[in-house]
Every structure is written in structure tokens, then in C-alpha cells.
Amino acid sequence: MAIKVLTGNYAAAYGAKLARVEVISAYPITPQTPVVEKLAEFVEEGELKAKFIHVESEHSAMAAAIGAAAAGARTFTATSSQGLFYMYEMVWWAAGARLPVVMGIVTRAPSPPWTIWGDHCDFLSIRDTGWILMFASSAQEVLDTIIQAYKIAESEEVMLPVAVGWDAFITSHTAEPVDVPDQDLVDEFLPPKKPAAHTLDVDNPFSLGQIAFPDKYMEFKWLAAEAMERAKEKIVEVDREYAEIFGRSYGGLLEEYRCDDADAVAIVMGGIAGDAMDAVDELRERGYRVGVCRIRVVRPFPLEELRRICTRARAIAVLDKNISQGSGGIVATELKSALYDTKRRPLVLDFIVGLGGRDVKRRDVEQVLMHTYSVLEGEREAKEVEWIGLRPEEVLIYD
């Protein structure tokens, strides 16, 4: 193993290289572009034996990945925001065809207004497509999760595409020490891709993705849903196996921090997890029993794991770095649904934070948790949704 100082984007490229991807389809978009630029450099310099396809759009990038995966190749692509929306049709196709494509999503807030900074709206927009959705909180985890993603996606019990997300600029462009594994160890963990039963073969031709009439369509979706459920166990298994070889584990579906005896638990995703843990440590010193749960996997949704953590607490504060207009935060909405029929249901408060790349700092997490405590103690009325960090003067100007 070697320690390199890498950005999250370069860590993703190293992860794909170590996974020995065979086909890379790419179209540039900020803040994703450095991922595929680095991969192009690896291919050009002979460090990675792969076909690098320069396509004319993100729609074509996913279409090329689909074709390569259908022919049996280990494939990779990456995108952000508007690019992801442009390839949306093909995202559904990859999942419906049960193709183990791995895609990096460097999160970027949707436009308009035009922005290159990040929140999680783009990543969460594909939660219903049939992709496994994993989210990393550091450059190290980006590299490790890209490698793990292939092991999960290509499993015979799963055979579904995997999207790995990470935060724009917070993770994508911030450099930190990253432990880059030796290639032989990665090869031991992730052997060459085996041909799937539905791999295209010129000597045994068949049609892939033809029309399914009403007497067949539901069964296809049921089979994919069953595979998604099996992916839960596979993700935990792969994370455990990775830890045995490389010494790093990310908790499988989610990461817990000081949750066992917590009255209030903050639910977070992505790069704000470190600040949230610092906030918890500070509040613990002041006598508040608080904890943090970082969601690492959004699909399959960690239903039972979240129920176990949340039903021990009196209140849950969800920091949603996203917004579903007309509903509220996406993670909070799903969590409320998950907890609906539990016997010991905690109070769930939804806090919208960090949209469009606005900083979420330790003091913001402290504010959220103290706000939650004040609701528990009857000092403040609970609202369905609270927005943290709004600037009233800006609202007046742009309304």
C-alpha cells in the first residue's frame, strides 16, 4: 500500500483503475471532470488497459456503458447534476437490463439558478430507478467504495448497477492522505468479471431489452426488487471482507457514532459527517446525550438498521442536504415512513441545510441538536420542516 495525497475525484479514478475497468465512457461536467481526466491519463500512459470512449453527451456516456456491460466488460462512467439528468432515460435502462455498471456522481445542485456547487438533490433524484446508491464521506471512502461497488454489482445474487456519490468540492476537490491499496491485494478481493447469463454473444444471439407485455412486466420488476433486497446483505458482507484485507470498514449500510445511549440522534449523509461528530463530542462534554448516524447506502434503504437506532432515541434530527419541493427533505420523509408502524416512535424533525453548496459547519449541527432538545423540553414548537442558514435579506431581494 502507498499513501498518496489525493482529491476525492482522483481517489475515484484510482479506485476505478485498481478495479481494472475495461471500458470508460466520459463526458465532462464540473465538478466531475477531473475523475475522467485522470482516468484518461492512466489509459494514455499505459497504466490502465482500458477503452476510453469520448462521447458527445451524458446520454451517450450511459448508453456506451450499457453496451459495454451488456457485452461483458467492466465499465465505469461519472457525471454530475445536469449531466445526470440528461442521461436519465439510460439510467433506467441500465437498471432494468440488470447490468453491473458503476457510476460516480459528484453531487451538484440542480439549475436554475445556475450553480456548480453541491447538494444531494441530483444524487437522490435517481432513487426510484433501480440503482444501488452509496454515498462516501471522504476521499479514502470514495476509493474504497468504488472498488467495493464492483464486487456488489457483479455478484450473481445482485446484478444491479451501483452509483457512488460524494460531495462537490467538499470531497471532490479537497486533497487528503489516501491509502492506495496494492494491485495484487485488490485483485485478490475483486477477481476478473465473470460473464453473466445474459451477456451478449455473437455465437449465441438473442435480444436484450425487448418489449414485455403486461403478463410479463411485473415479474421483471419483482425479480429486480428481490435482488435489491439481497443487496443489503451483500453490501455488509463485502464491507466486512474489505476490512479483513485492507483494514477499513464503513459499517456496511450506515455508520453509527455515540448512538447507543443518545436522547437525540442527528441523521446525516456525506462530507458533513465529520463536523457532526465534532459537534456531538462538544455537546457530550456539556452534558447532552447526542449521537450521529451517517447513512452510507440510500438504496437499498437501511430500514431495519435505522429503526434499531432511532427507536432507542427520543428524537431524531435529519439534516437533509436536499429538498423535495412540496414535501420537505427526502431522507426525513423516508425515515418517517420507516418508523410509522414502530411501537416506540421517536419525534422526527427535518432540517434543510447546505443547498447549493452553502457551508454546513459544526455550529450548525450544534444548533440543530439544541433546537431538537428545546422541542423535547417543550420550549419550542415542532415544525414539519426547518430551514437552517437562511438569510432573510436575500429572501426579500429575490422573492
Residue 170 predicted with pLDDT over 90: yes
Q: Which residues contact 388 (CB under 8 A, 6 or more apart)?
A: 319, 351, 352, 353, 360, 364, 367, 368
* 200 confidence band (pLDDT: 50, 70, 90): confident
Is pLDDT of 65 > 90?
yes
State if pTM tops 0.85. yes
Rounded average pLDDT over 243-270: 97
Q: What is the mean pLDDT of residues 54-77?
A: 97
pLDDT given at position 132: 98
Cell matching residue 152: 456488489
Q: What is the mean pLDDT of residues 80-99?
A: 97
What pLDDT, on the 0 to 100 scale, is given for residue 186?
98
pLDDT in the model for residue 229: 97
Q: What is the pLDDT of residues 92-129, one digit of tens each?
A: 999 999 999 999 999 999 999 999 999 999 999 999 99
HSE-CB for 336 with a 13 A CA cutoff: 15
Per-residue pLDDT at 231 exceeds 60: yes
What is the band of 205 on the pLDDT scale with cuts at 50, 70, 90?
A: confident
Query: 208: pLDDT confidence band, cut at 50, 70 and 90?
Result: confident
- 395 band by pLDDT with thresholds 50, 70 and 90: low
CA dihedral 310, 313, 319, 320 (to 10 degrees): 30
pLDDT given at position 94 = 97
Please answer whether residues 341 and 373 qualify as being in contact, where contact means their C-beta atoms are separated by less than 8 angstroms: no
> In whole angstroms, what is the distance from residue 398 CA to residue 317 CA?
29
Spatial CB neighbours of 263, under 8 Å, sequence gap ≥ 6: 288, 289, 290, 313, 314, 315, 373, 376
The mean pLDDT value for 324-347 works out to 94
Band of the pLDDT at 394, cuts 50, 70, 90? low
Closest CA to 347 of 317, 368, 319, 367: 317
- Average pLDDT for residues 283-301, to the nearest whole number? 97
Q: Is it the case that residue 396 has pLDDT exceeding 60?
A: no
Strand partners of residue 167: 107
| CB 348 within 8 Å of CB 382 | no
Is the separation of the CB atoms in 129 and 96 below 8 Å? no
State the chain's mean pLDDT as an integer: 95
d(CA 65, CA 71): 10
